[in-house]
Amino acid sequence: MPPCPSLAGAAAGPTGGSITLDANGNGYDDTVSTWFEGASDSWWLLMEWGNGGSIEVMITDSSPVAAARPLGVVDLNGDGRYELFAVVDAGASTQIVGVFELGDCTLTRMTFSDSGAPAAFPVGASIGSMSGVACSSSGSAFGDIDALFATEDGTGMYDGGAQGYTVSGTQLVPGFGDGTVFADFDEAANAVARFDCPPISF
Ligand SMILES: [Ca+2]
Ligand SMILES: [Ca+2]
């Protein structure tokens, strides 16, 4: 495969983190990093291919209060192309994980097919509510990726469940899911408040 074109500008702000991995499986290690652009108050995700070329995308749902950082890649749907995960924002008890689609020389933020919104999953737990993610690499029950969630129902129990999504091009398409009642916080947190996408560590 020839080198990719150089489409990224010069990263000119603080960095949020970087990882090195062979993101397109061509034998050359690639670098994924994040940097903050003050002019737009936004973080950017930058891919620098090991055999030349680069591309970057603005993380439109990032914020100045939380550093965006890349997490790693996993092939959610087994098509030989990686999906890339990055923390794109964070709250008091929750981190928001965004999903990007990697092509030979492309990096595209995935979107939810129903809303058109950037694909993002909250991960974390508070007493009132919790959420997480399970990927096909850990045996997700409903889709290529499952969103997990639970909310305290006022009696100490938690109403929750899972919603599966299938990868279709650069979209996540909602499919099957289910509902579950958890007896208490610990049971809900163990089942829901996790980022379960090996080999990526959170
Ligand atoms: Ca590579
Ligand atoms: Ca894939």
Q: How confident is the model at residue 5 (pLDDT cuts 50, 70, 90)?
A: very high
DSSP the chain: -PPPPB------S-EEEEEEE-TTSSSS-EEEEEEEETTTTEEEEEEE-TTS-EEEEEETT-BTTB--EEEEEE-TTSSS--EEEEEEEE-SSEEEEEEEEE-SS-EEE-EETTT-PBPEEEEEE-SSEEEEEEEGGGT-SSSSEEEEEEEE-SSS-EEEEEEEEEEETTEEEEEEEEEEEESSHHHHHHHHS-EE-TT---
Phi, psi (degrees; rounded to nearest 5) at 118: -55, 135
Q: Is the pLDDT of residue 93 over 80?
A: yes
Mean pLDDT (whole number) for 59-64: 96
Q: How far is the CA of 83 from the centre of ligand 2 (A)?
A: 5
Q: How far is the CA of 129 from the centre of ligand 1 (A)?
A: 39
Q: Please, are residues 82 and 71 in contact by the beta-carbon 8 Å criterion?
A: no
Q: How confident is the model at residue 161 (pLDDT cuts 50, 70, 90)?
A: very high
pLDDT of residue 11: 86
Q: Which of 131, 135, 186, 185 is nearest to 161 (CA)?
A: 131
Q: Which of 86, 87, 45 is nearest to 65 (CA)?
A: 87
Mean pLDDT (whole number) for 108-133: 98
Q: How far is the CA of 51 from the centre of ligand 1 (A)?
A: 7
Q: How far is the CA of 76 from the centre of ligand 2 (A)?
A: 5
Mean pLDDT (whole number) for 50-67: 96
Q: Is the pLDDT of residue 151 over 90?
A: yes
Q: Is the pLDDT of residue 128 over 90?
A: yes
Q: Quick one: what percent of the chain has pLDDT higher than 70?
A: 100
Closest ligand to 21 CA? 1
Q: How far is the CA of 100 from the centre of ligand 2 (A)?
A: 10
Structure confidence by residue, pLDDT tens digits, 13-54: 999 999 999 998 899 999 999 999 999 999 999 999 999 999
Strands 42-48 and 30-37: antiparallel
* Tokens coding 118: 């950037």
Closest ligand to 26 CA? 1
Q: How far is the CA of 21 from the centre of ligand 2 (A)?
A: 16
Q: How far is the CA of 175 from the centre of ligand 2 (A)?
A: 17
Query: Longest Cα pair distance anywhere in the chain, in angstroms?
Result: 60
Residues 144, 173: Cα–Cα separation, whole Å? 10
Q: Report CA torsion sign: 197, 88, 109, 81.
A: negative
Closest ligand to 145 CA? 2
Residues 19, 84: Cα–Cα separation, whole Å? 11
Q: How far is the CA of 52 from the centre of ligand 1 (A)?
A: 9
pLDDT of residue 10: 86
Q: How far is the CA of 107 from the centre of ligand 2 (A)?
A: 12
Distances (CA, A) of 68 to 23, 151, 165: 19, 26, 23
